[in-house]
Structure 1
Amino acid sequence: MENLNEQDVVLSESGILDAKLQRRSFLQYAGAGAAVVALTAAGCRKDRVNNSMTGVTLDFKDDFGVLNYAYALEQLEAAFYVQVASAPPSGFSAAEKAYFQDIQYHEVAHREFFKNALGTAAIGSLSVDFSSINFTDRTSVLAAAMAFEDLGVGAYNGAGVRLKSTTYLLAAGKIVSVEARHAAYIRDLISNGTFATAPQVSSSTGLDMALAPDVVLAAAGKYIKTKINVINL
């Protein structure tokens, strides 16, 4: 089990955020977007995060519940990719190591985007359990990455309808497009030509799948030790 507190992350995130992400201009987008969203979120109070239950609570009564839902998933993805990038499987090629490092930067930026945007309304850090993943084996890592990315894309698509703020919806749209790029790349690594196949993308409509929060959280629960309570779904 790992805790996602910043001091526990293997790779120095200050270096990621100050150097690598800035060089790619990705953090500039994330930081600017977070500033805009934070202006809207500034009026939210701490009591939007229900601490009366053990673990963390996602309250879907308003947009902040949806943002915390996305924040929880981004914590999970960031933790996974930080671990992979810090010690890639021996079977990874040089190109794969580089691409997974880039994905790591993106996921850390996504996580920090929601953390900064939510401010005092943000849920706490989640504890994860990656014991089912063999981080020394290329096949195991790619399978887990595909599961996380497909789940993330489906989660954003399914949550979009719950957002009332166009500002939040725009931010989510920008992030899910990046997640879909990750998903396509990883799926193609596993099996060339499967980057947009069913059921992830419908062959009849050309649309990506959309998953309800309860479905997503049930699947993600395999890797999350912290109890997540859901209300007003």
Structure 2
Amino acid sequence: MRLLDFFSVNTDDTVSRREALDQLKSVGLSLAAVTMPLAVLGRSNRTFAQSTSDPVDILNYALTLEYLEDSYYRQGLNASNLVTGDARTIYEQVSQHESAHVAVLSQTIEDLGGDPVSFSDDDFDFTAGGTFDPFNDYPTFLLLSQAFEDTGVRAYKGQAPKIAGNDLLTPALQIHSVEARHAAEVRRFRTAKQSASIKPWITGSESGSAPDAVYAGEGNATQAGISLQSLGDYSSAEATGAYDEPLSKADVAGDGGIAAPFFA
């Protein structure tokens, strides 16, 4: 992850840039790029002329996903001897980011006069009905972490066309790059732990490495109507790895979406 549809806000009644940054500092978030989408909320609604008219609904969607990730990483770090060494240092920072996202999104929704959604750890089932055991098995913990991070990268790309041409595009792409770095780190940990050849980026459908829905459509080797393999001596993996396919909100949070099995 990931703020996802958070970037399609249309409102005048928002927190200021300074207030947003202060809120982030108060919960210990130091990654400047992550503050950018929150900062731009204070701008005129002329910037968001082509955006959605229901910012609270969008923010609550983003907040729901942030709660999911916050709970996942917190429970993983609290599990006895599950995450150790270098990986623990990284995941502690990622967990702080997710907690900060929850705090800031909740406050922003309240500032807009809305009611933020709220979830407890009991609201999530990270076994997906008994399919996984992430808090007792480190490789499985890494696998689902990769799935969540890769989903965030593709979800950001899915929102980019909605904000092309306005001031939100730059911070959205900054967050997209942060998500990609997180995903690459998780893949590095998986490679080290499993002695497997896992690329730092998504390659094809990656069947067997995560729930199928996470990588649906990633086997596409055609962009703008052009077969990438026809442009040179490129393998299928090279062609499909050159682009991440976007995910819609329905792909992520709809019935049967990627996140659906992880809600109790």
Q: Please give the TM-score of this superposition, normalised by the length of structure 2.
A: 0.59
Residue number in structure 1 paired with 2:252 = 216
Residue number in structure 2 paired with 1:34 = 38
| 1:169-203 CA distance string (max 9 Å, x none) | 33332222211111111122223441114137873
User: Is contact 1:154–1:211 with CA below 8 Å preserved after alignment?
Assistant: yes
Structure 2 unaligned spans of 5+: 1-23, 46-50, 192-196, 205-214, 222-237
Q: Distance in 1 between matches of 2:66 and 2:139?
A: 22
- Select 1:204's aligned residue among 228, 239, 244: 239
Larger gyration radius, structure 1 or structure 2: 2
- Select 2:66's aligned residue among 59, 74, 77: 74
Q: Distance in 1 between matches of 2:37 and 2:159?
A: 19
Q: Please give the TM-score of this superposition, normalised by the length of structure 1.
A: 0.65
- Select 1:125's aligned residue among 118, 129, 144: 118
Q: Which moved more, 1:209-218 or 1:112-121?
A: 112-121
Q: Distance in 1 between matches of 2:98 and 2:162?
A: 22
User: Is contact 1:74–1:107 with CA below 8 Å preserved after alignment?
Assistant: yes
**Alpha-carbon distance change, 18 to 79 in structure 1, aligned in 2, over 3 angstroms:** same
**Alpha-carbon distance change, 204 to 29 in structure 1, aligned in 2, over 3 angstroms:** closer
Q: Which moved more, 1:70-79 or 1:111-120?
A: 111-120
Task: Give, as a single letter, the amino acid of the residue that structure 2 aligns with 1:213.
Answer: K
1:39 deviation in Å?
5.3
Q: How do 1:40-189 residues align onto structure 2 when only pairs under 5 Å count?
A: 61-62=52-53, 64=55, 65-87=57-79, 90=81, 92-119=83-110, 120-121=113-114, 123-126=116-119, 127-132=123-128, 133-163=133-163, 166-189=166-189
1:38 deviation in Å?
4.3
User: Is contact 1:70–1:156 with CA below 8 Å preserved after alignment?
Assistant: no
1:29 deviation in Å?
5.6
Q: Distance in 2 between matches of 1:165 and 1:73?
A: 26
Q: Distance in 2 between matches of 1:144 and 1:182?
A: 13
Q: Distance in 2 between matches of 1:216 and 1:104?
A: 21
User: Is contact 1:158–1:210 with CA below 8 Å preserved after alignment?
Assistant: yes
Secondary structure in 1 matching 2:258: helix
**Alpha-carbon distance change, 166 to 111 in structure 1, aligned in 2, over 3 angstroms:** farther
Structure 1 unaligned spans of 5+: 1-15, 42-59, 226-233
User: Is contact 2:76–2:82 with CA below 8 Å preserved after alignment?
Assistant: no
- Pairs aligned (count): 187
- How big is the alpha-carbon RMSD for the aligned residues of Structure 1 and Structure 2? 3.2
Task: Give, as a single letter, the amino acid of the residue that structure 2 aligns with 1:146.
Answer: Q
Tell me which of the two structures has the higher relative contact order, counting C-alpha pairs closer than 8 angstroms and 6 or more residues apart.
1
1:35 deviation in Å?
4.3
